[in-house]
Structure 1
Amino acid sequence: MAGRRAVDRPPVWAAARRPYAVLALVAVCFTVVQLVFTARIGLGWDESVYLSQVARGVPAAEFTAPRARGVQLLAAPVALLTPSVTAIRWYLSMLSGIALFLAYAPWIRLRPGSLAPLAAALFAGLWLSVLYGNEAMPNMWLAYCAVAGVGLACLADRRPASGLATAGVVAAFALASLLRPSDATWLAAPLLAYGIVRRRARLFAAVAAGLVIGWAQWMGEALVRFGGPMARLRAAGAENATGLHFSLPDHLRALNGPLLCRFGVECGGFPPAQIAWFAAVPVVAGLGVWAARRRSLLAAAACGLSLAFVYLFTVGYAAPRFLLPAYALLALPAAAGVVWLCRRRGTAVLAVAGVACYFALQARSVVVHGGQIQAARAVNPAVAARLQQLGMRPPCFLYGHDAVQIAYLARCAAHGVFRHYGGRSSVPSSIRAALRRGEWVGVITASRRPPAPFLTSWTAVELRLDGGTRRYVFLPPGH
């Protein structure tokens, strides 16, 4: 009998760890897909702002009221050594794969079996996840914190309570609040309400402690740089167009791009295939909650919907990345719904076909949108190279269209604008300050026609780029 038990142990050991192995495989595949399809994409505006705060040799770009410091902390280990976009992309790709594994791993203890790996695959397979997985932007990293935080909170709520899980809750929501304090608070709201109603003081304290860490940093910076917390909140609200809104139509149009439905960007029509999976997510997730009847899946759905509500009803514009934390959490009950459907002969084929179509659609979107974004951002390194040929050297200051991204590559200070170049009666104050400091100054535009009156006396120089793309730099008189 002893020999029999010794023989039986390895299969039991392997079965217990198989979900972790499958989840690790999903994470590795996720990293590989990023390295293949998105690691060569250049920096966006927001990324350039975040990275410039810590990147070696790069002047810090203007850090506005809505932003928080979590992203630069994540990127700092590499950015402090080198500002190389390629190095940062590779580092974030690998970190993203590790974060995906760590985020969904607690759910294997909550729901042993295939649910956590399938949920991770559903989320990682989303074209937005592949695109933003290695970007220095807060939303994807907030998604990982949300999944890990809710899972650990459910583990910490078990009896006997786990001290390690409780510490993990604090850590997850601390990082989430350092990334985006307001989003972290909305994600945590259902957990805080549960802690109050069910008198789970330990759980409530752990979630609240994590939130306090990020909010304390945000409020401290508000006092030092923005005139106090209320002034910073008002400035952040004005910049993000917060208030009572109904932006669901904009979010539906943005499912197929562009990455930002604002500042005059044409959002396009309503893509039927993308809307189909978007509509299926809450339906299948609801089915999963009903079928499993597990408190943990209900918590995941509640926290995901809490954040989705904020962006659909209180923000006056759309960007598809805003809903990434909601997708990451809803993937868990959705996976439970898919598993339930697959266990029934009449619905198994439908479920498998639906998941296959979902992955096929997302793969096509990654190729199409990834290629478009890579081509659009490839203009910026070319502009930076042409400006250096014109004699631009640090210290320098760039103003205008894509100025923040180009300035990061050229190691310049910058002030970016979308459409309004200012200077209706005089030269903008940031340009005047740079001229007083004796810096090389250039105003970048997409048109030879001066976009502001102060540029009529400046010299326009065409920057010849490959592919017929045109950019212009306006140089000050006597430059």
Structure 2
Amino acid sequence: MNQLTETAARGGGSSPAPDLSPRKGIRAWAASRRWYLALAAVAVCYSAVQLMVTIRVGLGWDESIYVSQVTPGIPPAWFSAPRARGVPLLVAPVTVFTSSVIAIRVYLSLLSGLGLFLAYAPWVRLRPGAAVPAAAALFAGLWTTLFYGSEAMPNIWVAFCAVGGVALFCQTKRKGALAGLAIAFAIASLVRPTDASWLALPLVVYGLATRRFRQIGAVVAGLAVGWGEWLVEAALSYGGPLTRLSAAGAKNEAGLHFSLGEHLRALDGPVLCRFGHPCGDIPLGHVAWFAAIPVLAAVGLWAVRKPARRRPLLIATASGTALALSYIVTIGYAAPRFLLPAYALLALPVACGLASVARVRIGRVLVAAAMLAFFVLQGSTLLQRVDIEGAARQPDSLAAEALRGLGISRPCFLYGHAAIQVGYLSGCGMVGITTNYGGYHLPSPIDAALVRGDWVGVLSNRKDTPAGFLASWRRVPLITTATEQWYLYRPPSALAPESPRHR
């Protein structure tokens, strides 16, 4: 020991002391986790764009139904057969405190950023390198992913669960992987049971072929949570599981279809190609990136030589393809959000395909140009869609404000055009009507509200009286928009309302 001390004092033969400065420790920590940090940066940017762009878009029809289920003081809207309780549970932590639409948007924007990170983080172990953050960026860059990140709708959350679930399915030796796998499919099945089942199908088939019974058990246990809740509710509220399944199928136009053309036309919106909202022409710019998905995914799968690394990508591809085919061949209409889980999974082999192309100089130039074009196209479509949807939903808040000016009081009940959205904003019971307001007989929901003594109003955007029973009701102009006039109908027994505020 003394000899070593003397040698060190003379400076002979000793190794330099290690640098234990905090700065070097931070650099080493960051270097060992650089791909997680890159993924976190993508997630932060994803939430930030939502907070800047989508935060002021009002609630849509479906969102208002979901949110009304868990907002204290607001009567829940009718929960139709195809819906599941996952989305109301998702927004409950904020709606229990406030019904503010801005608060809901901020909460979901932040939560979806966290969801994006948690979904792709397990893939960093399977695919070390830039491919995982690149895949997350590709998925997060879609206008549909950005638009629906802050929307109280199910598909984006199924997408996150699918990506994380597939990764955990492929990491059997990782501590907690089975529990995480079960949780991922439990959340997905609570949000959208049918989507979760289609995504699970390739995993179960592969698990049976390779005798991975523990993973199969975790997937089935997760599915049982959502399907169990759905079936119990079917027995209690919908006349039984078969009756509910039949009603859900009729509502969703389920059956044998080939709706690829509708999905192509829906790539740039509107948000729903149904109920008199045609999707219009096929957008060639969007079709270009859509067509590139299978090509780049195939290149990515071919470029990964090692079977152990290719297998998770194959499973992800199979799961995403199963989900996409389920909508294309079994549902008779389209919406851009339907294919979000497929895009989220296929982004992984696509990112590997882009990395393979970028290995040569000309490939790097092509990839850079293609990515620039992709993000510009998606960003411009997002801004356009936010403007359109924001303008379409703004009259709902104006109508709610006008109703307050007319002296609306709780308990109240609204029926008719946009009654779901306006009812939520006004704290009223509601039944939304798109076309058929009824005939000369008073609809039973209105009759029940009058018997209860509720403040009752019927909303319409038609110049003519939409139903015979309204002929004796008082009609008052409610709001005026750039394209239409809304009217409020009040029962004959109601006191004449005050002069409304025109918008």
- Whether the TM-score (by the shorter chain) exceeds 0.5 is yes
Asked if 2 retains the 8 angstrom alpha-carbon contact of 1:448 and 1:460, the reply is no
What secondary structure is seen at the aligned counterpart in 2 of 1:155? coil
Q: Which moved more, 1:459-468 or 1:322-331?
A: 459-468
Match in the other structure for 2:11: none
Distance change (3 Å), C-alpha of 1:285 and 1:5: farther
What secondary structure is seen at the aligned counterpart in 2 of 1:68? coil
CA distance in 2, matches of 1:85, 1:108: 35
Query: Which of the numbers 262, 283, 295 marks the counterpart of 2:295?
Result: 283
Q: Does residue 251 of the first structure (1) align with residue 224 of the second (2)?
A: no
Asked if 2 retains the 8 angstrom alpha-carbon contact of 1:382 and 1:465, the reply is no
Superimposed CA distance per residue, residues 61-91 of structure 1 (whole angstroms, 9 cap, x where no aligned partner): 1011111111111111110111111111111
Match in the other structure for 2:499: none
Q: Does residue 439 of the first structure (1) align with residue 439 of the second (2)?
A: no
Match in the other structure for 2:391: 375
> Where do residues 203-214 of structure 1 align in structure 2 (5 Å cutoff)?
203-214=215-226
Superimposed CA distance per residue, residues 299-322 of structure 1 (whole angstroms, 9 cap, x where no aligned partner): 111111100001111001111111
What secondary structure is seen at the aligned counterpart in 2 of 1:391? coil
Distance change (3 Å), C-alpha of 1:388 and 1:203: same
Superimposed CA distance per residue, residues 420-456 of structure 1 (whole angstroms, 9 cap, x where no aligned partner): 22x2241211111111111111111111211222222
CA distance in 1, matches of 2:385, 2:171: 38
**Who wins on radius of gyration, i.e. which is larger?**
2
CA distance in 2, matches of 1:470, 1:2: 84
Query: Which of the numbers 485, 494, 502 marks the counterpart of 1:470?
Result: 485
Deviation at 1:362, TM superposition (A): 0.4
Q: Which amino acid aligns with 1:57?
A: G
Distance change (3 Å), C-alpha of 1:185 and 1:6: farther
Deviation at 1:22, TM superposition (A): 0.7
Query: Which of the numbers 72, 94, 112 marks the counterpart of 1:56?
Result: 72
Q: Which amino acid aligns with 1:221?
A: E
Match in the other structure for 1:268: 280
RMSD of aligned alpha carbons: 1.6
CA distance in 1, matches of 2:128, 2:18: 23
Superimposed CA distance per residue, residues 79-129 of structure 1 (whole angstroms, 9 cap, x where no aligned partner): 011111111111111111111101000000100111111011001110011
Q: Which amino acid aligns with 1:273?
A: G
Match in the other structure for 1:174: 186
Asked if 2 retains the 8 angstrom alpha-carbon contact of 1:397 and 1:442, the reply is yes
CA distance in 2, matches of 1:353, 1:260: 31
Match in the other structure for 2:439: 424
Q: Which amino acid aligns with 1:224?
A: L
Deviation at 1:388, TM superposition (A): 1.6
Identity across matched positions, percent: 54
CA distance in 1, matches of 2:483, 2:377: 31
Q: Which moved more, 1:107-116 or 1:387-396?
A: 387-396
Query: Which of the numbers 106, 109, 128 marks the counterpart of 2:122?
Result: 106
Q: Does residue 411 of the first structure (1) align with residue 427 of the second (2)?
A: yes
Distance change (3 Å), C-alpha of 1:15 and 1:456: same
What secondary structure is seen at the aligned counterpart in 1 of 2:409? coil
> Where do residues 49-448 of structure 1 align in structure 2 (5 Å cutoff)?
49-156=65-172, 161-293=173-305, 294-421=310-437, 423-448=438-463
What secondary structure is seen at the aligned counterpart in 2 of 1:288? helix
CA distance in 2, matches of 1:15, 1:273: 38
Distance change (3 Å), C-alpha of 1:191 and 1:474: same
Asked if 1 retains the 8 angstrom alpha-carbon contact of 2:398 and 2:479, the reply is no
Structure 1 stretches lacking a partner, 5+ long: none
Match in the other structure for 2:32: 16
Structure 2 stretches lacking a partner, 5+ long: 1-13, 495-503
Residues matched between the structures, number = 474
CA distance in 2, matches of 1:179, 1:4: 56
Deviation at 1:465, TM superposition (A): 3.5
CA distance in 2, matches of 1:192, 1:6: 51
TM-score under structure 1 normalisation? 0.96
Superimposed CA distance per residue, residues 158-191 of structure 1 (whole angstroms, 9 cap, x where no aligned partner): xxx2341111000100000000111100001000
Distance change (3 Å), C-alpha of 1:2 and 1:406: farther
Superimposed CA distance per residue, residues 267-321 of structure 1 (whole angstroms, 9 cap, x where no aligned partner): 2111111111111112211211121251111111111110000111100111111
Superimposed CA distance per residue, residues 14-35 of structure 1 (whole angstroms, 9 cap, x where no aligned partner): 3320001111111111111000
Q: Which amino acid aligns with 1:316?
A: G
Superimposed CA distance per residue, residues 9-56 of structure 1 (whole angstroms, 9 cap, x where no aligned partner): 876643320001111111111111000000110000111011101112
Distance change (3 Å), C-alpha of 1:40 and 1:2: farther
Q: Which amino acid aligns with 2:234?
A: A
What secondary structure is seen at the aligned counterpart in 2 of 1:316? coil
Q: Which amino acid aligns with 1:348?
A: R
CA distance in 2, matches of 1:96, 1:2: 50
Q: Which moved more, 1:380-389 or 1:424-433?
A: 424-433
TM-score under structure 2 normalisation? 0.91
CA distance in 1, matches of 2:405, 2:386: 30
What secondary structure is seen at the aligned counterpart in 1 of 2:278? coil
What secondary structure is seen at the aligned counterpart in 1 of 2:33? helix
CA distance in 2, matches of 1:335, 1:31: 21
Superimposed CA distance per residue, residues 124-162 of structure 1 (whole angstroms, 9 cap, x where no aligned partner): 110011110011110011111111101111112xxxx23
Deviation at 1:366, TM superposition (A): 1.0
CA distance in 1, matches of 2:259, 2:125: 37
Distance change (3 Å), C-alpha of 1:295 and 1:4: farther
CA distance in 2, matches of 1:386, 1:13: 57
Superimposed CA distance per residue, residues 203-254 of structure 1 (whole angstroms, 9 cap, x where no aligned partner): 1111111111111111111111111111110110011110001111111111
